[in-house]
Structure 1
Amino acid sequence: MGIPVQALVLKKWWDLSVEDVPDPVMGSAEVLIDVLATGICGSDIHGFTGENGRRVPGQVMGHETVGTITRIGADAGMFGLSIGDLVTVNPVIGCGHCENCLEEQDQNCPDKVVIGVAASYSSAFAAQMAVPAANVVVLPATMPVAYGALVEPLAVGYHALRRGGCSASDRVLVVGGGPIGQACVLAAQRLGAAAVVVSEPDRHRRDLIELLGAAAIDPGIGDPSELPGRVATALGRRPTIIVDAVGVGATLETAFACAPIGAVIVLVGMGSIRLDLAAYEISVKERSVVGSFCYDPEEFRQTADWVGTSPPALAHLIDQHVPMDSAATSFTALARGESRASKILVYPNVATGPVPGDLR
C-alpha cells in the first residue's frame, strides 16, 4: 500500500467528509489518473440525499471528470496512452464479452459497472483514481482543463438526441434547462436541427440557454393551454422531437401537451423513479416514447473530440470552481435548492482556497 489519497466520502445521507482513503489499486490493464476536476451531477445529488437508492454510505462518488495519467499498467500499452496525457474517462464499463459489448453498446450491457455509481469503485471525487485504459480518452493539452469534465454530461445529451433520430429536418423542444437540458440543446445543434427551444421556469437558466443560441420559454407565463402554441411559434412550427430532460410527472405532461401526432418523445431526465403514462396519448396519436440513459463508446469519443475543439458555448456551462473542502457545502446548497448553479466543478487536488486559473 502507498500513501493514502484524499477523497470526498459519503458518510451517510446528507453528509460528505474529506478523508484519507487507501491509494487506488491499479490493475495491469488500467491507468492511474491524478484527478484535476470532477463535476457534480444531478445523480450525485440524488445519491447524496439517498433518494434514488443508487449510492451507499461509505462510497466515493463522481463520474464527470478530467485528469492526467500518472501511471500505465503493464497490459495497457495497446491503447496508445502516455504519462502526462490530459484525459477524460467514460465511466461505463461493460463486461466486454456479451452481445451488446461486442457491438460497442456497452451502455446496454446487463453486467455493466458505472464508475461513480458502483460502490466497488473509488471514483472521481478523489485525488487519484484507477480506471480501465480502454475507457480513457485523450484530450488536447491546449484546451481549457475544466472542459474535460463536461464531456460525460454532454455525451448524455448527444446520445439522447441520436436516440430521437435528430437531423436537419427536426425542430426540437427540450423540457428543462438544467445541465442535461443544456447538453441536449448543444447536441441538437451539433446534429443540425432546424430550430431548438427550451421550456424552463428559472430565469437564470433561460438566460444561459439563450447564450447557447436556443430560444427559451417560461412555461409559467399565461394559461398552460397556451404553451404548445408558444412553442410552435418559437420553433416556426410544432416540434418533431420533444426531450424531457427532467423526468418528473409535470415535465412529461408538458412533453405530451406539446407533442403533435407522430412525434418522438425522448425521456432522458431521471427526476422520478416511476411516472404515470397516458397510454392513449401514445397509441392513438402514434407517438414514440424513447428511453435514453447514457451513451455508447463511440458517442463518448465523438463528444470528447468535439469538446477538444473548445466550442465557445462551453464557456457558459460552468458556474463555480470549488476546492475539496467546499464540496460538501456545494452539495447541500444544490440539494436544498439554495444554489442556482447549473454546473459546479470540484478540484480534488486543491484542498482549500481558490482554484488556480491554470486548472480551469
Structure 2
Amino acid sequence: LKQFIIDTIVSGDGDVPLYLKIDDGNADDKSVFVERLKEFKNQWTFDGICVADSALYTAENLSAMAGMKWITRVPLSIKSAQNKICNIEDSDWEDSQIKGYKIAAQTSEYAGIKQRWLVIESEIRKQADLKKIVKQVEKQLESAKAKLRKLSRQKFACISDAEAAIKKLSESWKYHQITEIKSQEKTVKATKSNLKKLARTQTKVYQITGEIEPRNSAIEAEKVKAGRFILATNILDAEAVTNPQVLSEYKAQQSNERGFRFIKDPLFFTSSVFVKKPERVEAIGMIMGLCLLVYNLAQRKLRQQLSATNERVKNQVKKLTDKPTMRWIFQMFQAVHLVTINGAKQVSNLTQERQDILRHLGEYCCQYYLIFSSE
C-alpha cells in the first residue's frame, strides 16, 4: 500500500494550493472527500464551486454536501447513468465553446437531490474509444475460439450438463455468443486404465460444440457510448453557470493533477520516505506542499504579468510563449551566480531576458539578484 496520501484543494486560477492534508496510506478517498471540503470551508471564506472526480459521487457524499455548490463526474456503474448516456437524440446535442465537444443536458434526482446532468461527447476520445473497441472485440474472439475448442473436447455425462456448460461460456463473453449448438453422443469402451471409473463395460458420453458469432447489439451499444461521459452539478440555473462553463470548470480539475506531478517529481525522492514517525511524514508532506505553493504562486504571477504587458519569453524550443513553466525558468537561472570581486558582490550571467523575467516577478525578486529600482 501507499506509505501516505496527500489531499489537496487548489484554486482554478493558477493552481495555487489552498488546503493540504496528510493521510495514512490506507485511507479511502471516497470516505474523506466531504470531510476535507467541510474543513476547507471552515478555514476559508468560500463561495465557489467544488470540482472533483467520480470518487465524490456517492449518495452519502452528496447528502453531506448540502449547502455547497459542486461539479463532479457520474460513475457509469450507476444504472440511470448507463441509460442516459445512450438515449440521446441528435436534436439534444449542442456544440460546446470548447472545440471537439458536444453537450446534451439532462435532469436527474439521484440520492433525492435535484441535479443537472450533462452528457459530454469528446470527438478525440470517441475515435480513440472506437479503436479500442475493435481491438477488444478481436482479442476476445481469439480467446473465445480457444475456450470453445477446449470445451468441445470435454466429455459430459448428459446432454443437459453439456448445454449448461456451453451456455455459461457464451454468457461470459461481452462481445460474442455461441450459436448453432450441436451435441454428439459417443460410446466409451472400458479399458484397463478406466475400468475402475466405469460402472459398466461401456457407457455413453456427450460432447458439444457451436459457432462463435458477434453480439452486434452489445458492440453497437459500446460504439454509441464511445467518447461519452456524464457531469453532474447541483447548480440548476443554466444561466448562472452555463453548460459549457460546467465542462470548462471540470476540465480545469487537471490543475490539481499538475500539482501532484510536481510533488511526485524524482527530485523530491517521494518514492522512498525513510522516517520512523508519522509526525515526520506529515512534516515532509507539509514541506512538499509549501514548495508547490511557492512554485505555483511564482508561475501564476509571471504568466499574469506577461499577459498584462503582452510580452513573451522563449521556451525550451526557443519559441515565444506567455505561459512558461517555472521549471523552465529555474533552469534558465541555473547559470546565474553570485561572485565577489575585490570585496564587491556581483551577479554574473544576468542577461537582459533574465532581468525582464525578474522585473515581472516583482521588486523583491529583483533585489535578491542585486537589481534595485532607480526610485
The TM-score with structure 1 as length reference comes to: 0.25
- Structure with the largest fraction of helix: 2
The structure with more radius of gyration: 2
